Structure 1
C-alpha cells in the first residue's frame, strides 16, 4: 500500500508539474503578447519562461544582438532579460525622444551590479541616480576640470603630454594602446592632482583600467536576475572589488598627502582635489548624509580615471586601426598636417581648427566605434515614446552603436569614409542624434570637452611624427574584433610599426 501511495504521489506531482508548465507556456506565448499589446508596449520577440529573451541575445555582443532585433521589430523593441523589463531604442528619432524630450523621466540608472563593488555605486557619477549627490559631483567636475576656463588653463599640460607621447614611440613595433594610455591618464591625473603620474603607477593603472572597462559593462547574470545578485554567481563583483580597491588605495594616498600639506599651510593647488576637500569641509548634507566625503571623493576620481582614460585610449587605437586599413586616408591626413604645421615639430591645440580632415577622421572613428556602445537609462516615470508606453522601472537601452550605422541615415554605413563629413555639418556634442557617441541629454559624457581636445591632439602627434605600417608577416589586415564593455575596445590589441618621418625631428 505504501508503495502504491508513493507512486500515486509521484504521478500527482508529475501531473501538477505538467499543468504548471502548460500555464507558463500559455501565459508566455498566448496571454503575454495580448497583455503587452493592451499596455501598448513596443513590439518584440516572444519570451521563454524564466530567461525571457536572453536566448535572443545569444553569444553576440549586446549592441549587435540588439541591432538584429531592431532590424526585425523596429526602432523600439520590448524585451525581457531574465527578471528585467527593458526597451531598446535604435533610431535617431527614438533617441531624441528618450535623451531630449523625455530625458527628465528617463535619466535614471539600472543594472550594473559590478558597480556595487566596495559600495562604489553609491558614490559614482556613472551609477548614481540623477538626484542631489549626482548633481553636486557632476557640477564639481564640470567646474574644476571640464569648464572652458579650466580647459584653457590646462592646455599646456595636454600639449606637454602629446609631446611625451611622440617621444615614447620607438622606431620598432608598437602596442598602440599601451603607449597612448599613460599620456591620456597623465592629463587626467595632472588635472585632478596637479602632479605628474609616475611610470610605475601608470603601468598598474593600465592593467586595472583595461580589465575594469570590460567587467563594468559586460553582461552579468546579476544584472538580469537582481534577486541573485548577492550570490555573485559569476564572481564579477569579486573581481571588480580587487580593481576598485587598488584604485581607491591610490586615490587615498593622494588625498592624505594633500590633507597634510594643507594642514602645514602649503599654498593651494586650486585643482579638483582642493575643490573636493573644500566641499567636504562645508559639510553640505543630502538625504544620504554628507554630499562630499572620503567615499564620494574616491568614487568621483575613480570614474574620471577609469572611464576617461579607457575611452580616449580606445578611440585613438580604433582611429589608428582604421587608418592602417586605409593607407590612402592616412596619407591624406599626414599631408594636411604637413601643410598646416610646415616645419614645426609639435602640434598645438590651436592647429586643430585648421585640420578639417583630421576632424573628419575623428568623427568617422566615433561613428563606427562609439565611445560607449549602449546608453543605459531607467524610467523613473511612465512615458510615451512614438505611441508606445514605457512603464516606470523599465530599463531603457539606447543602442548608440546601431544608430551610428543606420543605412537610412548614412551612405555605406559600414565603410570608413571621413569624406562623408566634408559637406555635412554634424557634431558629436549631443545635438545631432544620428551621431551621439558620447550620449546626449542629462547623462551625456561629462568628459567630452576634454576628450575632444585629447583625441585630436594626440592622434595628430602620432601621425605627424611617424609613418605607420602593419608588422611584417601580418596578413589579412587588422583584426577589428570588438571587446564589449563599458567601453567598446579592440579585442586584439593593435600593434604597428612606426618609422620616424625624416623632416620631423624629435
Structure 2
C-alpha cells in the first residue's frame, strides 16, 4: 500500500480533477500511519494487532478508491510534458544532477533530450530552458505566467519581518520596490552621482596594491581579495554614505545570508510532506535575521541623526533616499523599517557578489590570454596618456575594454541559472508547462551554444566588435547575464560602472605576472556553484608598476 501511495504521488502531476488533492492528502496520512504501525509492531512480533488491521484496511480501501478515481479521469487528455531523463521513485531526476555542477549537467542532458527538458527533483518539477528561442517564447509571449521567483522556507524565515525585492512576490510590493530602485536608487542620474566614490575607491585599490608590492622581492598579491575589498567599499559608500565602523561584521553577516538563501532542505524537496515540515530547524536563518536587523538598525539610526543635522535636503546616499520616501508616506505599500532593511541587504549583497565575481573572472581570463591583455593595455595607454589616475570620463573611448567585459559576461555569467515559478498552465514550444513548475533558464548553456556563437568556448572579445552582435540589456535572448524581462537586474549600470573603472585601473597602472614556473594555461578555472558561479582557486599575481600614482 505504501508503494502504491508513492507511485501515485510520483505521477499525480498528470492528474486533473477537483477531488484529487484532498483524496491524496487523506491517503498520505493513512499510508504513513500504516507504515508506522508496521514499524513498531515488527520488533515485538505483534503482526495481528487491531491498530495494524485498522490502518492496513483503511489504507487499502483508500488505495482502491483512489485507483477508481484515476481510472475515471483517465479519459481526460493527458499533458504533453517536455521530455527528460529517466527517473527513480521518490527522488526523480535528482541522481542526474549529482554528477557535477548543475548548469553543466543540465546542458549535457539537454543535448540529448532537447532545449525544453523536464526534471523531477523529489516533489519539485523543473523545466530547463537551454535555447534562446524557447526563452524568447517564454519572456515575450508568456512572461505574466513566469513572473514569480522561486522561494523556500529558509528564505521566508530570513525575510519574515520585511520583504526585499529579490524574492518578493509579483504584486504591489514588488512594483513599489522596483520603481524605487529604477527611478531613485539605481537610476542613471544616481549612478552618475556615485562617480566620485568609484574613482576614489579605484585609486585606493591601486594605492593599496602599490604599497604592498615591490619589484625587488617579487611579493604576490591576492587579486581576488583586493577586488572584493574594492567592491565592498564602493558599494558601502554608495548605499550608506561612508565606510562602516563595523564593516567586517556586516560583510560576514551579508555573505552568510547569501549562502543561506541559496541552500535547500527537505522542506523544499518535499513541500507536501508533514514529516519534513516537522523536522527540527537549525535556527541559522533566525539568528541571521536578528543579527542583520541589529546591524541595519544601528546604520539607519546613525544615518537619520546625520541627515537631521545636515543643512539642506541634498541626498548623498541610498539610505537618505529611502528615509525620505518613508517620511513622505504617499506610497500604496508601506515602506516600513523591515522593508528598508531587506531592500538594502538585497542591493548590497547583489552588488558585492555579482560584480566581484565578474571582475575576478575578467582578470583570470586576461592572464590566460596575454594577447588580449597587451591589446587592452595599449588602448589604456593611448586613451589615458598623461593621466595620474583613471577618470570615468575617459573610459567612454576604451571600446576594447568594453568588449572584454562583454566576453567575460558571456563565458562566465554570474548567475548561471535563472529560476522562475509558473503561476498558470501554459504551452511552450508545443509542450504543456503545469502550474507550480519551476522554470530554469540555463543562461550559461545558451551563451556557449555553437548555434549562436562561433567557437563558443574560446575567450575572443573581438566577436563583439562586429555590428549587430547581442547586447546584455535583456533584448537579445542568446546573451542575458543579468536576466531578462520584468525580473531583470535593476543594477546593471551600477555594476558595469564599477567593473569598468576597477579593471581599467588595474590594467593601466600595473603589468601583471604569474607566480614563477606557472604557465597561463595552468591557471585553475574550476567553478564553484552557489548564489553566483565563482572560481574555486584564488588568483595570486605579481604586480609591476607601470604608471605609479
TM-score range, shorter chain: 0.7 to 0.9
Total equivalences in the alignment: 482
Match of 1:356 in 2: 399
What's the CA shift string for 1:248-295, capped at 9, x where partnerless?
Answer: 333221111233345567544524222322333344676xxx531011
Match of 2:502 in 1: 458
Q: 1:85 to 1:189 in 2, by over 3 A?
A: same
| C-alpha distance in structure 2 between counterparts of 1:471 and 1:245, whole Å | 44
Match of 1:491 in 2: 536
Aligned-residue Cα RMSD (Å) equals: 3.1
The two structures have a TM-score, normalised by structure 2, of 0.80
Structure 1 range deviating more: 255-264 or 419-428: 255-264
* Aligned 1:294-333 pairs, distance under 5 A: 294-333=337-376
Deviation at 1:120, TM superposition (A): 5.2
Contact 1:216 1:485 in 2 (8 A): no
* Aligned 1:229-378 pairs, distance under 5 A: 230=277, 235=282, 238-262=283-307, 267-270=312-315, 271-283=317-329, 291-378=334-421
Match of 2:225 among 178, 181, 192: 178
Structure 1 range deviating more: 176-185 or 133-142: 176-185
Match of 2:523 in 1: 478
Deviation at 1:207, TM superposition (A): 3.9
| C-alpha distance in structure 2 between counterparts of 1:413 and 1:429, whole Å | 20
| C-alpha distance in structure 2 between counterparts of 1:204 and 1:177, whole Å | 20
Contact 2:149 2:168 in 1 (8 A): yes
SS in 2 for 1:39: coil
Deviation at 1:375, TM superposition (A): 0.5
SS in 2 for 1:468: strand
Deviation at 1:403, TM superposition (A): 0.8
| C-alpha distance in structure 1 between counterparts of 2:118 and 2:510, whole Å | 49
Match of 1:97 among 109, 127, 137: 137
Q: 1:465 to 1:263 in 2, by over 3 A?
A: closer
Structure 1 range deviating more: 106-115 or 55-64: 106-115
Match of 1:106 among 146, 163, 178: 146
The two structures have a TM-score, normalised by structure 1, of 0.86
Does 2:166 align with 1:115?
no
* Aligned 1:13-92 pairs, distance under 5 A: 38-92=78-132
5+ unaligned residues in a row in structure 1: which ranges? none
Deviation at 1:491, TM superposition (A): 1.6
Match of 2:449 in 1: 406
| C-alpha distance in structure 1 between counterparts of 2:142 and 2:220, whole Å | 49
Match of 1:433 among 451, 454, 477: 477
Match of 1:468 among 512, 516, 522: 512
Deviation at 1:70, TM superposition (A): 0.9
Deviation at 1:177, TM superposition (A): 2.4
Deviation at 1:351, TM superposition (A): 2.3
Contact 1:120 1:299 in 2 (8 A): no
Deviation at 1:374, TM superposition (A): 0.6
Point out the structure with max Rg over C-alpha: 2
Q: 1:208 to 1:65 in 2, by over 3 A?
A: farther
5+ unaligned residues in a row in structure 2: which ranges? 1-41, 214-218
